[in-house]
Amino acid sequence: MTWTAPTVIGGSPILDYRISYDQGTSTYVVLAQGITTLFYQTSPILTPNTVYKFKVESRNEFGYSLSFSNEVSIRAASIPTAPL
């Protein structure tokens, strides 16, 4: 996944980012933190036909961002059946 750095950061430079995801339980699990690039690649095992929410949070000297405008939802692809 890729993202764009925020344009307004409250006067303090961004130190790094944290990536989290939610499997529909409203509880986010941290996939990675301390990311210093504007992209993250992983291959988590996703359950087919399940909706997941991912979010990216930036961190400055005051802590992590609290905005929910950085969330995106996806539906994991279904596993195709074998041809008959």
Q: 9 in a domain, yes or no?
A: no
Do the domain assignments include residue 49? yes
pLDDT digit string, tens, across residues 35-79 = 999 988 876 677 888 888 888 998 888 888 876 667 888 888 776
Q: How confident is the model at residue 9 (pLDDT cuts 50, 70, 90)?
A: low
Residue 66 in domain: yes
In a domain, 10, yes or no: no
CATH number assigned to the domain comprising residue 65: 2.60.40
Residue 1 resides in a domain: no
The reply to whether 81 falls in a domain is no
Who contacts 65 (Cβ-Cβ below 8 Å, separation ≥6)?
A: 6, 57, 58, 59
Task: Please indicate, yes or no, if residue 65 is contained in any of the structural domains.
Answer: yes
Total domains in the fold of the chain:
1
* 82 lies in some domain: no
pTM of the model: 0.76
**What residue numbers bound the domain in which 32 lies?**
16-75
CA–CA gap between residue 5 and residue 10 (Å, rounded): 13
Q: Are 20 and 28 in contact (CB under 8 A)?
A: yes
pLDDT of residue 61: 87
